[in-house]
Structure 1
Amino acid sequence: MQTSRDPQAEAIAEQKRNWLDAVYDPLAGADTVAQTIAVAALEGKEWDLFVATQWAPLREGGSREKGNNLTFRGKLKTYRGSRLLSETPLFNQATALCAFYPTSDRPPALAVASGPTVYIYSDSNPPANFVLSPIDLTPLEAEAWNIISASNGSDQVDKSLVEALAEALRELRDGGVVQLSPQSLSLLSLEDAEERAVFAIECVRKPLCVQFQLSSAVVFLSASGLLDTGYSIVAVCRDGSIYYLNSSSCKHIVQLEAHACGLITDHGGVVVGCIDGAVYSYSMEGRKRFKMTMSAPIISMDRFDYPAKGFHGYAVALKNKEFRVYVGKNLIFLICAEDIVTALKFGPYGREPAALIMILQGGGLSIKILKRTADFSAQNSLGGTPKEQEIPIPVPKKTKLYVEQTDRERDSSKEMYQTFIRDLFRLRLHGARDYATLFRHSLNPISSTENVKVKLEINILGLGPVFLIKILIRNIGVTVIPSLILNLVPDPKLHSVKKPIIKLYYIVPGVEYTREAHISCVDDLKTSAGKIDVIISEPESERPVIMARVVVPACRSF
């Protein structure tokens, strides 16, 4: 007897077999998102974890109440092994962290994006910073700001001048002719106040090299290659657009079906996690390769590469505390985390070649070490084919009768096709004739007239010679029907109705009305079945609104 597999039990067993728990600190205070964590060996020895904690506006003294003396608390934390190595105060809120190699003969550096400035941290050197050039005001926008500056000489702001400025800037924005500055966009309280541009920065020779203009603000970036020889950048925008950028082109790949919450680039394509709980894979030409629906909403994603064993996959963190590792559509690892994983990073850490770093909800930190004996084979994947599928099906050998039948079908293929087409056309013809008959006689349980929309349900009760017909009438429209006439037309040779005409008044939408009538057999000796027509019509109309034909069963003689 086969027993059903328990995914949670298998995940726990898989976790004990392939992972070692290195660090678990639920009070680490590492409240951050996936874009603001990075792993780098700035000193060239051990790999450290860098976490830029999220900022929160605080009053002096720690209160979160509204006030004028607001300060910000945010730090760049460095973890080495199981301890916190250092904390560096941040001057502004960090939006992204990235480790890169400035040159081939130097240790890596850490880039921290904060507002319009990119700070470069390297070994034993003060941080260098590059400030992006401000957006030039257009003459019309500058004139609008100059007017309010000249008119407002005091400290008190005139409400009418602010309204006039906002109206002038709104006209410039709606006209679509000029690109407003962030100051103007902030005044108009727009959500998408970014410049919608991607910059490629050379931190050694010149501060700015390449600029790409996109359709919306960028939410995810994935870059690879060298700026001098050849590079490629995949950008996901806030409006769901995916762009492929290189030294020669800026190409729109595809428009996502939902907003993105994670981006992974693999060989020849991209893998995107969306807020609809699905993972989409597209080629660089925009062709969808697959769609895979998760069991819970997606929180974070990251690459899961282990070059020592030639493994290249991606990791997905779900809201149900599950951490999954996939190769394409095949599930390789399934881990049950201590809490919801808000950010993750896989790669070397400390002196270990493969470590999984997870930032938990509430600021907790969990680090797991991948065992060197971990099995990445597809046969052991949790999402692969079951073992029963590997057992070959015992297919019988071809008999003489089977071979003769295939020969006859091959010789008569033309006649078989013609017969199939003829039967298909005959089926369509009979269906069209029956539909026309139903439409002509209104033999439809739901009326389709413009003014009256009624649903009809009929039941015949009894064994005879007296039957009870029960009629259920329901107004499926939105207006009240003033009056209708219900007619019962039996076969006069077989049955008679005591009250063949029933009037209905004020049929309210959504209410079910029941009407009953008795049907008697004309001759008790005739036990054959008959038919009765139930017709509903308006008082001054000749055409019925709805009609149904019901079979009255034969009378049972005892």
Structure 2
Amino acid sequence: MREQQAAQQAAQQAPPPRQVKDKNTPAWLEAWQDPMAGADAFSSCICTADLAGDGEFRLVVATAMKKMKVWNGTSLTSEHDLLEPPVAVCTFYPAEPKSPKRPSLAIAAGTHVYIYRNLRPYYKFTLPALTVDEQEIEVWKMVRDGQIGPKEAFDELANIRDAGVSLTSRSLDLLAMEDGAAGEVEQLRAAYCAAQAPEQLQHFTSITCMGSIKKNMDEWDATSCLFVGTESAELYVLNANGSAVKTTTRLPSVPVFVASTGLLDVDYRIVVACRDGRVYTIKNDELSTVVIELETQPCGLVRTAKQIHVACMNQVIHCYHAKGKKAYSLYLPAEITCIESMEVTRTRAVRCLLVALANNELRVYNEKHMVSKFDMMEPVRGLSFGRMGREDNTLILCTKGGCLQVKIMPRLANLEAVSQNGPPPEQDIPLAVPKKTKLYVEQTQREREQAVDMHQAFQKDLLKLRLNTARAYVKVMKDGQSPVNDSFEGVTVRIQASVQGLGPLFKIRVHVVNTGTKPVYDVPILLVPSDVDMYDLEEVIMQCPALLPGLPWIDAVKCRQKDPAAGAGEIRVIVATKTSPVPLITALIKMPLSEFLD
């Protein structure tokens, strides 16, 4: 009894057992939420920056209601009115010697880039005016002189537009006046022409996207430059102050998404997704020949150091290497609303991809593996990942209803991709085996009764297949299209052909061996490309003086591809004789693609 009482007292005085923490740390922590923020903005209109130079990164959101709102932590510090609906917002550090540096805030809207310093208007950059077509100038001149009326001007401008000419906004506004009663439309056109005809005709374009790129140093406060894409299918790179155009690149289509990497004065790439469903790359002020063809229109673009992620409208995200080769694809259960890159630097850098879906899901992918997923109350319209306040890993979300949410990633969150070993989880799902119907029972009964006839029909078809295969093999051997020919006048030849080089200059090596018992003299070897305009061969015919039994004959020919961007073709090697129209043997060489060196 004494021993039992002593054991009970020791158990009561012992410390409670240590609780083991759950290893599955949540990927996000709720930091702040404001349902009445009115932050109805896309990802391109959300950014964070140290605007005051005090180390506190403030949140800037440009909404669709022409408002620019600035938050310092959880408090709304300022709100500014914008003249036009914003297209994109980003920060850049201008070229200034003083320290500490303060970034400038750039807001693209319409034909202008509004630059703010210390949250005050500092400079307004206007896109260069485009050239107005002579036919359009002549039409408005005739309207001003009274030679034609509004109806005739409407018809002339419609014909010019149908011919593929880019018209000014004045002409497009006039062509848009076609709904309503006939009398009211004529009065509107007459009043519009009377008010606009005396004014000078100018053609301006609009901004579709904007970004920034470091100039000559890869530091967080290094001097950077803005670049903007326009409706006229051009991309302008501005100077360090954002006051003038530095370089201009003409694109095949209108850009909608842009992403950059590298340094402007050293080596840089700007990836552009356009409305024609293609992704182009601008390399050091020149349009690269590497073009990525998409299945559908793009709805998001993210560029990392070596990979390009493109979100498409068919619920798929494609990942490409910088040279345009496809790496993998992610198939999602709903439409993609926006994507954003996510880089977390700890003991090792982890690069992930944030994906917001129309079914209120927000997913995090590390390459092909989904490492996190959570549901929102409503669809996400815009998101941004970066530093806010003094927290580095902050996720900012703007929903469709204008709600603003801020989430913080825990320091112990696991974002490593875990490969699944063993059988897939789908293996445990039972198959939906249908029930035995009357038709199934009758079919099995017929197979039992006619098993012998069915087996004989199967054997007959199998013998026919073997016969056709043997005939095809004999035909190939007689035509000389096999890598090892049949004995021809006591001569059996084996050929091996290989290609060396990365392109566009290749070397074709031909290795021929006479495995027969008789020598062959004066053997011509022909090289015939599938497309004559694709490759330039140093020699079309190689002359082999003698093929002795057992001794190999090796020779090489230089081959240059005329257009490295034309793809890859084929070259056929034919070993012939002077006594027979049938070649001894032939070989087909599939040429590789020419490599592009970045």
Range class of TM-score, shorter chain: 0.5 to 0.7
Is the contact made by 2:366 and 2:415 (CA closer than 8 Å) also made in structure 1? no
SS at match of 1:35: helix
SS at match of 1:168: helix
Hey, what's the Cα distance between the residues in 1 that align with 2:250 and 2:329?
A: 29
The C-alpha deviation readout for 1:115-169, integer Å capped at 9, x for no partner, is 11101123365422111122121222211121122229xxxxxxx8334333323
Kindly indicate whether residue 420 of structure 2 is the aligned counterpart of residue 385 of structure 1.
yes
Kindly indicate whether residue 251 of structure 2 is the aligned counterpart of residue 209 of structure 1.
no
* Shift, 1:319, TM fit: 1.0
Hey, what's the Cα distance between the residues in 2 that align with 1:298 and 1:350?
A: 29
Hey, what's the Cα distance between the residues in 1 that align with 2:255 and 2:73?
A: 33
Kindly indicate whether residue 385 of structure 2 is the aligned counterpart of residue 346 of structure 1.
yes
* Shift, 1:353, TM fit: 0.8
Is the contact made by 2:380 and 2:398 (CA closer than 8 Å) also made in structure 1? yes
Which of 180, 183, 186 is equivalent to 2:167?
Answer: 180
Kindly indicate whether residue 318 of structure 2 is the aligned counterpart of residue 272 of structure 1.
no
Consecutive unaligned residues of structure 2, counting only runs of 5 or more, are 1-21, 178-205, 209-229, 426-461, 472-598
**TM-score for the superposition, normalised by structure 1:** 0.59
* Shift, 1:28, TM fit: 1.1
State the partner residue of 1:237. Answer: 274
The 3 A distance-change label for structure 1 pair 85 and 151 is: same
Bigger drift between 204-213 and 323-332 goes to 204-213
State the partner residue of 1:318. Answer: 357
State the partner residue of 1:511. Answer: none
SS at match of 2:385: strand
Hey, what's the Cα distance between the residues in 1 that align with 2:315 and 2:300?
A: 11
* Shift, 1:340, TM fit: 1.1
State the partner residue of 2:28. Answer: 19
The 3 A distance-change label for structure 1 pair 290 and 189 is: farther
The 3 A distance-change label for structure 1 pair 256 and 313 is: same
Consecutive unaligned residues of structure 1, counting only runs of 5 or more, are 1-12, 56-73, 153-159, 391-420, 431-558
Which of 81, 84, 93 is equivalent to 2:76?
Answer: 84
* Shift, 1:237, TM fit: 1.2
Hey, what's the Cα distance between the residues in 1 that align with 2:422 and 2:410?
A: 25
* Shift, 1:425, TM fit: 4.1
Root-mean-square deviation (CA, aligned residues, Å) is 3.1
**TM-score for the superposition, normalised by structure 2:** 0.55
Corresponding letter in the other structure for 2:260: A
Identity of aligned pairs, percent?
31
Is the contact made by 1:182 and 1:194 (CA closer than 8 Å) also made in structure 2? no
Hey, what's the Cα distance between the residues in 1 that align with 2:242 and 2:254?
A: 28
Is the contact made by 1:14 and 1:333 (CA closer than 8 Å) also made in structure 2? no
Hey, what's the Cα distance between the residues in 1 that align with 2:385 and 2:130?
A: 37
SS at match of 1:378: coil
Hey, what's the Cα distance between the residues in 2 that align with 1:196 and 1:287?
A: 25
The C-alpha deviation readout for 1:33-68, integer Å capped at 9, x for no partner, is 12211111112221111111103xxxxxxxxxxxxx
State the partner residue of 1:449. Answer: none
Which of 126, 131, 136 is equivalent to 2:126?
Answer: 131
Hey, what's the Cα distance between the residues in 2 that align with 1:256 and 1:291?
A: 12
Kindly indicate whether residue 370 of structure 2 is the aligned counterpart of residue 361 of structure 1.
no
Is the contact made by 2:25 and 2:413 (CA closer than 8 Å) also made in structure 1? no
Larger Rg: 1
Map 1:142-221 to 2 at 5 A: 142-151=137-146, 161-176=149-164, 178-188=165-175, 194-204=231-241, 207-221=244-258
The 3 A distance-change label for structure 1 pair 335 and 167 is: same
The C-alpha deviation readout for 1:247-306, integer Å capped at 9, x for no partner, is 241135122111111111123231111111111122333322222210111111111111
| Aligned positions, number | 358
Hey, what's the Cα distance between the residues in 2 that align with 1:352 and 1:326?
A: 22
Bigger drift between 311-320 and 143-152 goes to 143-152
The C-alpha deviation readout for 1:189-214, integer Å capped at 9, x for no partner, is 59999212111111428511111222
Is the contact made by 2:255 and 2:272 (CA closer than 8 Å) also made in structure 1? yes
SS at match of 1:212: strand
Is the contact made by 2:362 and 2:375 (CA closer than 8 Å) also made in structure 1? yes
Map 1:381-530 to 2 at 5 A: 384-386=419-421, 424-426=465-467
Hey, what's the Cα distance between the residues in 1 that align with 2:330 and 2:376?
A: 22
